[in-house]
Amino acid sequence: MTELDGANAHSWNNRIGALVEHNPACGLRDNTKDHRHVTHKADYDADDRFELFLLDDGQQKIEHKEETRVPNTAIFTFNKEDHTLGNLLSQRLLKYEYIVFAAYKVPHPLFATFELRVSTDGTITPKDAIIKCCRDVVQDLGVLKNSFTTEWLGKKIVSEGEAERIARENNTY
């Protein structure tokens, strides 16, 4: 029993008020307005879910650690990232011939972090390999975006024209 519970244990009303007041997901109940003015977070069952993607105070996005037992190898810890980036980088890195090893793991599913281990053949540092890889993906995505927008416009015009034609034909009946 905390002090809070003990202090309010005599009255149900007070206790409910305290629960609301001390529950950050629920907000405040205004006692002056007949307990009716309540502020709620619209549906939260867990607070601080932004911890999934906001860096903590002083936290680095990427921590870089050299592996001393194996040559040309480094482990990068990405904070507040998940499989979206982990799988993308590790799989994409494997397609370069100078990469000897690339894989990632999520040490614990409740913590938004992953570790990427990269080994190269020595012609490039693991860090530069990742930078190169990221740039190539950015470029690919640029090509994709370009193609997508062009095709979307084309298809939209065609399908709108089609819909108009059908509407016109239906009207003549």
| Binding footprint of another protein on the chain (CB under 8 A) | 26-27, 36-44, 49-50, 52-55, 60-62, 64, 78, 80-81, 83-85, 87-89, 91-92, 95, 127, 130-131, 134-156, 159
**13: enclosing H helix or E strand:** helix 12-21
- Shortest Cβ 142–another protein spacing (Å): 3
Contacts of 139 (CB under 8 A, 6+ apart): none
Residue 102 near residue 116 (C-beta atoms within 8 A): yes
Tell me how far apart the alpha carbons of residues 138 and 136 are, in angstroms, rounded to a whole number.
Answer: 5
Could you tell me the strand order of the sheet in which 62-66 lies?
62-66, 73-79, 113-120, 99-105
CB of 119 to another protein, least distance (A): 17
Residue 9 or residue 111: which is nearer to another protein going by CB? 111
**What DSSP string runs through 80-95?**
T--HHHHHHHHHHHTT
By C-beta, is 7 or 136 nearer to another protein? 136
| Nearest distance from C-beta of residue 163 to another protein, angstroms | 8
- C-beta of 2 vs 32, nearer to another protein: 32
- Shortest spacing between CB 115 and another protein, in angstroms: 14
In the bound complex, what is the minimum distance in angstroms from residue 134's beta carbon to another protein? 4
Nearer to another protein, 7 or 148 (CB): 148
Helix axes 83-93, 126-172, angle to 10 degrees: 110
Closest CB to another protein among 9 and 140? Answer: 140
